[in-house]
Amino acid sequence: MGRLNINGEIVEVEFDDDTPLLWVLREQLGLTGTKFGCGVAQCGACTVHIDGQAIRSCVYPASAITEAEQITTIEGLSEAGDHPVQQAWEELDVPQCGYCQPGMIMAVAGMLNNNPEANDEDIDAEITNICRCGTFGRVRRGVHLAKTKMA
Amino acid sequence: MGKTLTLSRRGFLVATGATGLTLGVLGACSGPSDTEVDISNLPPNPEVNAWVHIARDDTVIVRIARSEMGQGTLTGLAQLVAEELGADWEKVTTEYPTPGENLARDRVWGDFLTGGSQGIRGSHQYVREGAAAARIMLVQAAAEEWGVPAGECTVNKGVISHAGSGNETSFGAVADAASELTPPTEVTLKDPSEWTIIGQPLPRLDTKDKVTGVQKYGADLQMEGMLNASIKAAPRRNATLASFDASAVSDMPGVVRVMAVGENAVAVVADTWWHANKALQALPIEWEGGDAFNSADFEAELVDGLTSDQAVTGYEVGDVDEAFSNADQIIEAVYNMPFQSHAPMEPMNATALYTSEKCEVWCPTQNGEAALAAAAQASGLPIQQCEVYKLLLGGGFGRRGMTDYVTQAVLIAKEMPGTPVKLLWSREEDQAQGFYHPTTKARVRGSLDSEGNLTGVNVRISGQSILAGIMPQAIVNGMDIATFQGLANPNNPRTADQSLKYTFPNFRADHAMRNPPVRPGFWRGVNANQNAIYLDCLMDELAEAAGRDPLEFRLAHMQDSPELAGVLQAVADTGGWGSDDGKHRGLCAFYSFGAYTAACAEVTVDDNGQLKIDRIVAATDPGYAVNPQQIEAQVEGSFVYGLSAMLYGNITFVEGEVQETNFDTYNVMRIYEMPEVETIIMPSGGFWGGVGEPTIAVAAPAVLNAIYAATGNRVRELPLNYRNLREA
Ligand code: FES
Ligand code: FES
């Protein structure tokens, strides 16, 4: 049992000590925008924010998170789905199958929180999410477009 | 003017008593009312014909049989329909008819198979005809209402007008009346010069939901009372389940059932998937039998096939043996392709609900009808009492054309009648239970005369046949024709879209089949992937041996294919081929899935022999380009898929077990390794080629040839896997 602050709301939810945040979000709270891809912190499909920092929720026990920490999922990134990164993604039609994209968007938004000027080297170093459809070119362009929207 | 076509009745089964049938149809589309799944709660919309429903608010609902798995088919097919219908694109939405509905309606939508880059090229004709028929009926309904000749009416963006009388109405207003008309027996399709929707780089229809997390995939399904299952099938190839000790895990949190699934698998069903999977990992299981297959040992069999006398010839021109015996020089090399896993980002999954009367399955599938048949077989119910609801796929790449996970889900649900059960595979299960890209090697040989002219080419393929593994009935006279993709006979209608486009005086492609006890599958790009490496890297080697420029040497053998020469010349021009800027470039051109593709790659190899791909220029001629910005996305994505295989892709077996069980050991390309792809789309018209797959073929060869340019070293063993490319 724990109290979590998710997308601005405090929720009380039951989970085991070792249950990763990913499964609490998906199975107990119905927040299925956060995806399961690998379960071992390799692919980034499960990326969410804790206090604005991107983390991989498949290996992050929910029990390690305090009520004071703010969890943001793709559903809570913006109210109308219009965060600058989401806008850029829509404009460039980034998603193909789309399954990796909530994680990709959260990873990019997290990077831009810390570094609104992120350049190509920053993208190379920080965006390690897997996309099997191969949207990397548009992801890169999307980051640069999102930056202009945030400026 | 376009050409007039006579329609078969099957092309557009029209509703009789339209509204009633439409209601019935939509009812079949909806999920069971006692669940939270809501596939469609649309108000009744008149069905003008099988392809098109039009709502009274003028919304056009295009019904798409093919599956959307990222390739943009949903949008592309909707463009085809909207074009012939004369619809307002802003009002177009799509939905899937169900496989059960297709069956009940005499397969009005044809087959549901989504593979072979057939989404557009395999359905453009009947889809456009259906839409054109619907337009004629809508116009006729309006004309009858106004008492004017239909021929005097015009259609523009969903509005029907009659200039003479000044009448105007919308599709929605006449849809009911149109649905009661007799369909036309002849339609005229628009000439490509008249297209205003086909050929436009329109945004995809499914993007918004994909950037907000709203899009539901199979893995995301939740239903009232649903339980979750995780499964483990025998890790060793073809082993069976001997026993398991359920009591060891039955007290673990959330566990509801532990059960055998078929002959070779065991599943845990629990309240959540996390609980189910955790218990499954703790479950003591014994397996028996199976093949202790070692992929390292299989090398010897592949090598044996390279020179075996026993081989089946797929395509032959002239007498290549004669050419070789008269040759001044013979260039010979051996290339390989290891096993690959599809590894779509969404692991396999299916949700099933079984009762003694009905079996329903919700799943991402590339083959809805096969999924329906699998549900019927596993449930033991007549197929008419089964239904499959397709969901968007989190990647398919060929893997989701198989139905093993559907069978498993139904077998589990059958043990728990009335309870929906979602089966989701772990990534480890997904890696361990694939239908892998087959492994082959090729011994390629080419001969030159004393003037450096190419006199003969032989591509000897040794290794696994996909068809022998999963469709043995398709093997004719010992031949798997799919093995020869891109090397096949242009005069055989069955292989024309996968045929050799080079012109060689003497040529033979032959195959010594060597099948390991590993189930193979269609993996995006299929056998064109390695056949392009085999043929085109040989061409590069031959050009060098002949002392000729690799571009000029290739073009000299493309005299009968201006399209292939066209894409190659385009990438060479744009890619800076021949410039003396000190950059290292490689070329490739190939024809497969009915489309012409080429690439020019630019690389650097550092002092430690490590590769950096600096630039890729690609060109594709798919005949017609329905949505250029989506073609561009498919071309870019094809490089990531093909180059991931070239760099890292290698599934290995030890004692029959897959060793690469997750992305930590089955590495794939990340953004830092991927340069921008500059895509040149050059549709030459007159044919409909594929888009989703053909470009993969040119990705690896262009880079391998560029590595040679950079190092003077031919890299023939895949994957590269960070090895020193400067070492022989
Ligand atoms: S699911 Fe968490 S990183 Fe892959
Ligand atoms: S869009 Fe399909 S995996 Fe990234």
DSSP string spanning B670-724?
Answer: -GGG---EEEEE---SSS----TTTTHHHHHHHHHHHHHHHHS----SS--TT--
Could you identify the atom of ligand 2 that is nearest to the CA of residue A95?
A: 1
The pLDDT of residue B44 is: 54
The pLDDT of residue B108 is: 84
B162 shares its domain with B238: no
B567 shares its domain with B482: yes
Nearest alpha-carbon partner for A22 in A86, A68, A73: A73
Query: How many Cα atoms within 13 Å fall on the side-chain side of residue B107?
Result: 7
Q: What CATH number should be reported for the domain holding residue A142? A: 1.10.150.120
Q: Which B residues, 44 through 73, put their C-beta within 8 Å of a C-beta on chain A?
A: 69-72
B324 shares its domain with B416: no
B149 shares its domain with B285: no
Q: What CATH number should be reported for the domain holding residue B234? A: 3.90.1170.50
* Residues of A in Cβ contact (< 8 Å) with B634: 96
Handedness of CA B460, B461, B462, B468 (dihedral sign): negative
A42 lines ligand 1 (CB under 6 A): yes
A10 shares its domain with A53: yes
Average pLDDT over residues A86-92: 98
Query: Which of B401, B424, B447 marks a domain boundary?
Result: B424
Judged by CB atoms closer than 8 Å, whether chains meet at A23 and B207 is answered as: no
Ligand 2 midpoint to CA B660 (Å) = 21
Question: Domain total for chain A?
Answer: 2
- Out of B207, B220, B633, name the one closest to residue A32 (CB): B220
Residues B334, B443 contacting (CB under 8 angstroms): yes
Percentage of residues in chain A having pLDDT higher than 90: 98
A73 shares its domain with A13: yes
A58 shares its domain with A96: no
* Domain assignment of residue B399, yes or no: yes
A97-137 pLDDT, tens digit each: 999 999 999 999 999 999 999 999 999 999 999 999 999 99
What is the rounded CA–CA span in Å between residue B620 and residue B631?
A: 9
Judged by CB atoms closer than 8 Å, whether chains meet at A134 and B207 is answered as: no
- Out of B228, B347, B636, name the one closest to residue A134 (CB): B636
Ligand 1 midpoint to CA A52 (Å) = 18
- Out of A39, A90, A100, name the one closest to residue B208 (CB): A90
Count CB atoms within 10 A of the CB of residue B98.
23
| Structural domain for B263, as ranges | 228-292
Query: Which of A57, A77, A97 marks a domain boundary?
Result: A77
Q: Which B residues, 530 through 589, put their C-beta within 8 Å of a C-beta on chain A?
A: none
Chain A CB within 8 Å of residue B252 CB: no
Judged by CB atoms closer than 8 Å, whether chains meet at B219 and A36 is answered as: yes
* Domain assignment of residue B50, yes or no: yes
Choice from A132, A139, A140 to test ligand 2 binding pocket (greatest atom count within 8 A of CB): A132
Tokens of B609: 């022999």
A13 shares its domain with A51: yes
- Out of B272, B346, B663, name the one closest to residue A42 (CB): B663
Indicate the length of chain A as a whole number: 151
B510 shares its domain with B406: no
Chain A CB within 8 Å of residue B79 CB: no
* Residues of B in Cβ contact (< 8 Å) with A20: 274
Choice from A46, A74, A106 to test ligand 1 binding pocket (greatest atom count within 8 A of CB): A46
B51 shares its domain with B121: yes
A31 lines ligand 1 (CB under 6 A): no
* Residues of A in Cβ contact (< 8 Å) with B645: none
A17 shares its domain with A71: yes
* Domain assignment of residue B302, yes or no: no
A24-36 pLDDT, tens digit each: 999 999 999 999 9
A69 shares its domain with A92: no
Question: Domain total for chain B?
Answer: 4
* Domain assignment of residue B62, yes or no: yes
B530 shares its domain with B608: yes
| Structural domain for A26, as ranges | 2-77
Angstroms from B418 CA to nearest CA on chain A: 20
B64 shares its domain with B109: yes
Judged by CB atoms closer than 8 Å, whether chains meet at B672 and A100 is answered as: no
B168 shares its domain with B251: no
ipTM: 0.98
Q: Which B residues, 144 through 183, put their C-beta within 8 Å of a C-beta on chain A?
A: none
A71 shares its domain with A96: no
B627 shares its domain with B489: yes
* Residues of A in Cβ contact (< 8 Å) with B210: 95, 98, 101
* Domain assignment of residue B430, yes or no: no
* Residues of A in Cβ contact (< 8 Å) with B203: 90, 93
Query: Which of B394, B424, B454 marks a domain boundary?
Result: B424
Residues A43, A129 contacting (CB under 8 angstroms): yes
What is the pTM assigned to this prediction? 0.93
Ligand 1 midpoint to CA A103 (Å) = 9
A93 shares its domain with A144: yes
A89 shares its domain with A54: no
Residues B62, B52 contacting (CB under 8 angstroms): yes
- Out of B213, B253, B640, name the one closest to residue A75 (CB): B213
* Residues of B in Cβ contact (< 8 Å) with A97: 69-70, 344-346, 392-396
Query: Which of A77, A106, A135 marks a domain boundary?
Result: A77
A73 shares its domain with A103: no
* Domain assignment of residue B431, yes or no: no
Ligand 2 midpoint to CA A130 (Å) = 8
* Domain assignment of residue B192, yes or no: yes
Q: What CATH number should be reported for the domain holding residue B388? A: 3.30.365.10
What is the rounded CA–CA span in Å between residue B327 and residue B452?
A: 10
* Domain assignment of residue B718, yes or no: no
A53 shares its domain with A101: no
B77-122 pLDDT, tens digit each: 889 999 999 999 999 888 888 888 888 888 888 878 887 877 778 7
Q: Which residues of chain B have pLDDT under 70?
A: 1-45, 728
What is the rounded CA–CA span in Å between residue A4 and residue A13?
A: 8
Q: What CATH number should be reported for the domain holding residue A7? A: 3.10.20.30
Query: Which of B424, B448, B464 marks a domain boundary?
Result: B424
Judged by CB atoms closer than 8 Å, whether chains meet at A26 and B393 is answered as: no
The pLDDT of residue B110 is: 80
What is the rounded CA–CA span in Å between residue B359 and residue B640?
A: 39
